[in-house]
Structure 1
Amino acid sequence: MRRLPAEVIPRIPVPVRRIARNAIWAAGRATARWRPLPDFVVIGAQKAGTTALYAYLRWHPGVTGPSWKEVSFFDRHWWRGEAWYRGQFPLRSGQRLVGEASPSYLFHPLAPGRARSLVPDAKLVALVRDPVDRAYSHYQHEVALGREPLSFEDALAAEAERTRGEVERLVADPRAFSHAWWDHTYAARGRYADQLESWLEVFPREQLLVVPSEELGERPAETYAAVLAFLGAEPHSLPEYPRVFEREYEPMRPETRAALAATFAEPNRRLEQLLGRNLGWS
């Protein structure tokens, strides 16, 4: 089975990663004028299959982009400027489509306007996952990284207080970074309709494709084909469609699942109205 870049990178020691990253950034800036801006951007959502989808796209012979996911220019690196962003992409190579994937773009309050100002013609792909499952997967990810000491129920209860004022701080200072906003927004990131509407305020509807991650998992070949058609890439199939980061952990408490499902019932209805389809989330 092919290994995904996201599976390999964490195995590299942090000091080595930093040296490599800084070398890549320096070389990219120096040659930025010969590097393209992206034709497409996978904008999220976090823990919804962006790692797998971006790997599938990078394995297409007519698609290129950074060999790593999460350039994160339109959220945390905007202040570095266009030359830095161009420097993340390969030197021009024929007629291949160029793209990147940064799953926090969907959620960041300033990302839509920033993207519109620099890549107004880019096609956007957003993956959405049942927000109950997405929230629990996000929580388990933070626990595995040692960034979440609370139980899932306590973390949900603490989310509003933990993140109070953080959006305002991000909006006020382009260089600001909020660990609370990045790490602990378990419920907030699942309110997809609000986020998609922010993107649709500045991008035409025909430039945005919304893909339920359940479809990517259950019918990867068909979903991959649909994404390629949307991007204008030649049809292509892969010998396999590996999953990524499938961790085993204790199931969510039934009462917690029921409470979250009730919390997301209205946001999910709004999303289904926006998309004009039933997503089948309970």
Structure 2
Amino acid sequence: MTSTHLLRRTFQRIRPHMTPRLLIIGAQKAGTTALFSMLAKHPKAAPPKEKELDFFHDDAAYAKGMGHYRSLFPPIPAKSSGHFTFEASPSYLYQAERCAPRIAKDLPGVLCVAILRDPVKRAFSAWNMFRNFKGHPLRGALHDPRSFQQAVEDELAGRAVPGHHRYLARSCYAQQLACFQQQVPSSKLAVYSYLQLKRHPEALLASICNALDVAPMAVNAKLGNVRSHVVEYTDKLDKGLADELYRHFTPELNRLNTLLGNELELLER
């Protein structure tokens, strides 16, 4: 290794790291990966190597402090001019009671973006994800062997299940968002629907770029294809069970609309 390379690496280690200006807080299985990938293509974006850092949710990581958190992001560019960094951790929304106060305290002024999806479709998508972890070299322990019907029955009956297998609870957005509304200024909390991201990605990205005070970005057909991040399911959602779940979520959706002050287009029926 040449002395020039050594100097460059040393400088990168001691150079301060960027602080995120944007957090994609959720929801799980609602297009966060697609949105992260789109924003990463912005000419001023400097994304971290890992999409989901889970810092404000993970007590052990949080105990390491903000210096550790910043180290997970790129160094401040030598010729920084409006560059921004960000991350996407869906656990922040689901664990809002824990995460929202921490985010408000440690990242004042950060823009929190939530993408919400049809609660039934989101729950079914999450179950499919954990169902497909069977035999996975890294995530096999998270595998859920139950049918979706059984998973729903277990949760509605209040049976003890791991937090990551509580598919219905993760779709209860009103209480989660209420925690962020109590901690984050309204101008720093942006809520969109999965359908907005899917149908109008350029408009959604323009809204986020405007909130970040950066130039809007062009979105071509390939970049704006949310479906490119979707894994097709081998199991299909039973219509009778779906209808039952839509009835279950009706009060929750009413609470969400009241909280937001408008009706967010979520349902994919």
Q: TM-score, normalised by structure 2?
A: 0.83
Return the alpha-carbon distance in structure 1 between the equivalents of residues 264 and 99 of structure 2. Answer: 26
**2:78 is aligned with 1:78:** no
Give yes or no for contact 1:32–1:87 (8 Å, CA) kept in 2.
no
Partner of 1:112: 100
Matched, 1:273 2:258: yes
Correspondence for 1:198: 179
Q: Which moved more, 1:264-273 or 1:247-256?
A: 247-256
Tell me if the contact between 1:33 and 1:83 (Cα under 8 Å) persists in the aligned partners: no
2:121 aligned residue (128, 133, 138): 133
Q: Please give the alpha-carbon distance, in whole angstroms, between the structure 2 residues aligned to 1:247 and 1:78.
A: 35
1:17-32 matches, cutoff 5 A:
31=13
Q: How many Å separate the matches in 2 of 1:211 and 1:99?
A: 17
- CA offset at residue 32 of structure 1? 7.3
Q: Match for residue 211 of structure 1? A: 192
Alignment-mate amino acid for residue 248 of structure 1: Y
Q: 1:262 aligns with which of 247, 251, 257?
A: 247
| Structure showing greater Rg | 2
Q: CA deviation at 1:224?
A: 1.8
Over 3 Å counting, the alpha-carbon distance change for 1:110 and 1:31 in structure 2 is farther
Q: 2:145 aligns with which of 144, 149, 152?
A: 149
Gaps of 5+ in 2: 1-8, 135-142
Please, which runs of 5 or more residues in structure 1 have no aligned partner? 1-26, 164-179
Q: TM-score, normalised by structure 1?
A: 0.79
Q: Does 2:147 match 1:162?
A: no
CA contact (8 A) 1:32 1:86 kept: no
In angstroms, what is the RMSD of aligned CA positions? 1.8
Letter in 1 for 2:159: E
Measured in 2, the distance between the counterparts of 1:44 and 1:31 equals 31
Task: Decide whether aligned partners of structure 1 residues 156 and 140 sit closer, same or farther in structure 2, where only a CA change above 3 A counts.
Answer: same
- Distance in 1 of aligned mates of 2:22 and 2:41: 15
CA shift digits 1:54-91 (9 cap, x unpaired):
11111001122213210110102322321221111000
- Partner amino acid for 1:187? L
Give 1:233 deviation, angstroms: 1.7
Query: Which of 144, 169, 176 matches 1:188?
Result: 169
Partner of 1:22: none
Tell me, what secondary structure is at the counterpart of 1:115?
helix
Q: 1:234 aligns with which of 201, 215, 234?
A: 215
Q: Contact (CA 8 Å) 2:15, 2:75: kept in 1 or not?
A: no
* Residues 17-47 of structure 1 deviation map (CA, whole Å, 9 limit, x = unaligned): xxxxxxxxxx9xx947611221111100000
SS of the residue 2:229 aligns to: coil
> What's 1:41 paired with?
23
Instruction: Report percent identity of matched pairs.
Output: 31
**One-letter amino acid matched to 1:55:** S
Q: Distance in 2 between matches of 1:275 and 1:201?
A: 13
The verdict on how the C-alpha distance between 1:116 and 1:33 changes in structure 2, with shifts beyond 3 A counting, is farther
Paired residues of 1:32 and 1:83 also in contact (CA < 8 A): no
Q: 1:230 to 1:205 in 2, by over 3 A?
A: same
Q: Residues 32 and 138 of structure 1: is their aligned pair in 2 closer, same or farther, counting only changes over 3 Å? A: farther
Q: Distance in 1 between matches of 2:27 and 2:149?
A: 22
1:143-197 CA-partner distances (Å, limit 9, x unpaired): 011211101011112233224xxxxxxxxxxxxxxxx11x202000111010000
In the comparison of the two structures, how many residue pairs are matched? 237
2:88 aligned residue: 101
Shift >6 Å, 4+ stretches: none
Q: Is the 2:205–2:216 contact (alpha carbons within 8 Å) kept by the matching residues of 1?
A: no
Local SS of the residue matching 1:110: helix
> What letter corresponds to residue 210 of structure 2 in structure 1?
A
